[in-house]
Amino acid sequence: MHETGKIVTVGVSGASGAIYAQTLVRMLDRDARVRKVFLVASEPGLRLIASELGIVAQDPRTLPKLLTGTHAEKFEYLPNKDIGAAIASGSYPVDGMVVIPCSAGTLASIACGLGDDLVARAADVCLKERRPLVLCIRETPLNRVHLENMLRAQAAGAIIMPAMPAFYYGPKTIDDLVAQYVCRVLALLGLPQQEQYRWRGEKDR
């Protein structure tokens, strides 16, 4: 029988914002429309998760369970050095990819098509196969190199989604800000979330 459900790749780089990554994988974990998630974290990404979330994975393969707090059965952790992984080939049917957070260095690697690690190579595959690629840039202030790399990546087909929380809907906590942002990221992959706030005009006020 043919399996149904989306296959998503999640890359985590070393830019600040590990809570965005954790929230995203938790939403993917409970989303019945998703059947497989590949999680790839760079070495700085693993350090980020340890520093900001206090999650240290002695065996990185356990990272999905530690991030979600569940058995995370639909997740598979892939080492960033494994450029021979399935998602490094365009013949593998991934439905989309998110790099969250996306550092300026990872952005540069993707924008220049270096493919020098699995995050960059998997992103390059999404671009060449015309699959959704969302880059959650987390850097400030931005210099000209950053801006030019964003333009280059966007021209190649990436969606540039800076980690800029919104305030117009009256969030009360940091978790509210993070959840709304992540909901919008997932909507770009065709996975809208019920908890996402949607503006309906001034009557909402």
Q: Is residue 199 part of a domain?
A: no
Q: Is residue 202 part of a domain?
A: no
Task: With a cut of 80, say whether residue 202 has pLDDT above it.
Answer: no
Q: Residue 16: which domain range?
A: 6-192
Q: Is residue 200 part of a domain?
A: no
The SS3 call for residue 45 is: helix
Number of domains in the chain: 1
**CA torsion angle for 43, 11, 22, 35 (degrees, to 10)?**
-130
Q: Is the dihedral of CA 199, 35, 110, 126 positive or negative?
A: negative
Q: Is residue 55 part of a domain?
A: yes
Beta bridge partners of 9: 38, 97
Q: What is the pLDDT of residue 1?
A: 39
Q: What is the pLDDT of residue 200?
A: 83
Task: With a cut of 60, say whether residue 131 has pLDDT above it.
Answer: yes
- CATH number of the domain residue 32 falls in: 3.40.50.1950
Q: Which two tokens stand for residue 32?
A: 């019945």
Exposure class string for 105-115: b at 16+ Cβ within 10 A, else e: bbbbbbbebeb
Residue 154: in which H helix or E strand, if any? helix 144-156
Q: What pLDDT digit, counting tens, does each position of 176-192 carry?
A: 999 999 999 999 999 99
β 133-137/75-77 pair status: unpaired
Residue of 97, 87, 80, 88 lying closest to 9 (CA atoms): 97
Q: Is residue 111 part of a domain?
A: yes
Q: What is the pLDDT of residue 4?
A: 87
How does the average pLDDT of the chain come out, rounded?
Answer: 95
The SS3 call for residue 196 is: coil
Q: Is residue 41 part of a domain?
A: yes
Q: Is residue 181 part of a domain?
A: yes
Q: What pLDDT digit, counting tens, does each position of 77-130 carry?
A: 999 999 999 999 999 999 999 999 999 999 999 999 999 999 999 999 999 999
Q: What is the pLDDT of residue 199?
A: 86
Neighbours of 33 (CB within 10 A): 15
pLDDT level of residue 142 (50, 70, 90 thresholds): very high
Task: With a cut of 50, say whether residue 2 has pLDDT above it.
Answer: no
Q: Is residue 201 part of a domain?
A: no
Distances (CA, A) of 159 to 14, 33, 35, 99, 184: 19, 22, 23, 11, 12
State percent of the chain over pLDDT 70: 97
Q: What pLDDT digit, counting tens, does each position of 163-172 carry?
A: 999 999 999 9
Q: What is the pLDDT of residue 203?
A: 64
